[in-house]
Amino acid sequence: MHQQYPVSRFLLLSIVLIFSCQAPPPIETSKNNKQPWAIALHGGAGTLSRTLMTPEREAAYRAALDTALMIGETVLKNGGSSLDAVSQTIIYLEDCPLFNAGRGAVFNHEGKNELDASIMDGSTQKAGAVGSVSVVKNPILLARAVMEHSPHVLLTGRGAEQFAREQGIQTIEPSWFFTQERWNTLQDALKEEARENGKHGGIFKNSDFKFGTVGCVALDQHGHLAAGTSTGGMTNKRWNRLGDTPLVGAGTYADDDVVAVSCTGHGEYFIRYAVAHDVWARMAYQNLSVQEAGNRVIMQKLKEKGGEGGLIAVDKNGNVTMPFNSEGMYRAYANPDTRKIAIYQE
Ligand code: ASP
C-alpha cells in the first residue's frame, strides 16, 4: 500500500526540495564549451637536409602535415577528446610512408622494422607504451590499448604482439612497413659501418636520414591534455635497442595541470636527460612558460650536451612551442585562430 500524504505536507516537501537542491551540473557539449583547443604535431627532426630536398618532396611533406593537422583539428573542433585527436593524427602519420613510423619506418641492422610508441593521458596521467613490435600496423593504437586495457605501462616484443592479438588490434605482414628509400639508407649505413669497422656501435650517424619519428600533443575543449609519439627508431639499430619514444618522461609526457610534450631526435640523449619530463618540471617547479621551458631544454641543455632534435609542447592554456636544434623539424600546429605548417627554421 502506498502511503498517502496530505496536500499540505506535499507542498511543504516540494518547497524544501526546491530550496535545498543545488543546480544540476551543466551538461558538457561542444557547443556551449568556451575552452580553447590547440594541437601540434611533428614528423621528426631528420630526413630533411636542404641539399636533398626537392620542391616536389617538400610539397609532399607539407601536404601530409596538412592532412594530419586537419584530422586532429576536426576531432577537437567537434568537441572530441585530446586522446582521440592525438591517436587519429598519429595513425595517419604512421600510415604515411614519408615518415619514420609505421609504414616507412627505418630498418634495423638485420633488415627488419622494429616499432616503438607511447601515449599519455594528461587527465589521469595514465600511460601506455610498446617497444620493438614488428607486426602491429599502428603501434600507437597498441600503446593506447596497453594504457586502457592492461595493468601495465610498457610492453615489448612478442608479448606486446600477443597482447595486440588478444585486443583485436590489427596485425600485418612485416613487408607492409617496407619502403625502398629506407632500405637504401640501411645499405648505405652498413657500408659506412664496414668502412669504419663498426665504430658507430650500430647507430648510423653520418646520414641525412636520422630522425623521422612522429608525434602529436593536444588540448581539447574540456581542458584535457594528451601526448603521443611513434617511431621506427634509428637506422641500423641493434640488440633490440629502444630509444626515447616508448619511454614516458623521455619521449612523451602529459599532465592536465601543466603541459603535454612529444619529442624527436637522438633518443639516447632524450633518455639521459628525461627531456619531456624536464619541460614539465621547469614549468611546474620554476614557473617557466612553455616556450621558455622548451627553449632551455632543447636549445641550451640538450645542445650543450651534443643531443640533436626537438619537441612539440602545448600547455594547459593552449600555448604551443616547437623548438629544435637540428636543421629542421617537420611540424604543424593549429588553434581556433591560427594554422601553421613549417619545416625549416623561420
Ligand atoms: N627519437 C627516436 C629514437 O631515438 C628517433 C627519432 O626521433 O626519429 O628512436
Q: The C-alpha cell of 278 is what?
A: 624536464
Q: Nearest residue CA, atom 8 of ligand 1?
A: 211
Roughly what angle, to the nearest 10 degrees, separates helices 55-77 and 82-95?
A: 150
Tell me the pLDDT band of 200, cut-offs 50, 70 and 90.
low
Tell me the pLDDT band of 7, cut-offs 50, 70 and 90.
very low
Rg (CA), the chain: 23
Q: Supply the pLDDT for residue 115.
A: 98
Would you say the CB of residue 310 lies under 6 angstroms from ligand 1?
Answer: no
Least confident window among 23-32, 46-55, 185-194, 255-264 = 23-32
Mean local confidence (pLDDT), 300-328: 96
Q: Nearest residue CA, atom 6 of ligand 1?
A: 211
Q: What is the pLDDT of residues 275-295, one digit of tens each?
A: 999 999 999 999 999 999 999
- Length of the chain (residues): 346
Q: Supply the pLDDT for residue 205.
A: 53
| 3-class secondary structure, 13 | helix
Tell me the pLDDT band of 50, cut-offs 50, 70 and 90.
confident
pLDDT of 31 > 90? The answer is: no
Give the closest residue to 275 by CA, choosing from 306, 327, 311: 311
| Mutation choice for ligand 1 from 264, 270, 298, CB with most ligand atoms inside 8 A | 264
DSSP-assigned letter for residue 54 = -
Would you say the CB of residue 244 lies under 6 angstroms from ligand 1?
Answer: yes
In terms of pLDDT, which residue wins out, 29 or 286?
Answer: 286
Q: Nearest residue CA, atom 4 of ligand 1?
A: 267
Q: Supply the pLDDT for residue 290.
A: 98
Mean local confidence (pLDDT), 62-80: 98
pLDDT of 2 > 50? The answer is: no
Q: Indicate which atom in ligand 1 lies nearest the CA of residue 309.
A: 7
Q: Supply the pLDDT for residue 47.
A: 57
pLDDT of 14 > 50? The answer is: no
Would you say the CB of residue 212 lies under 6 angstroms from ligand 1?
Answer: yes
Residue type at 130 in one-letter notation: V
Whole-number average pLDDT of the chain? 89
- 213 counts as catalytic: yes
Would you say the CB of residue 233 lies under 6 angstroms from ligand 1?
Answer: yes
Mean local confidence (pLDDT), 109-133: 98
Would you say the CB of residue 328 lies under 6 angstroms from ligand 1?
Answer: no
Q: Find out whether 322 and 333 touch, Cβ atoms under 8 Å.
A: yes
**3-class SS shares of the chain: helix, strand, coil, % to 5:** 35, 20, 45
Q: Supply the pLDDT for residue 169.
A: 98
Indicate the pTM of the whole model.
0.88
Q: Supply the pLDDT for residue 48.
A: 64
Architecture of domain 32-342: 4-Layer Sandwich (3.60)
Using the structure block, give the residue that is written with the C-alpha cell 572530441.
80
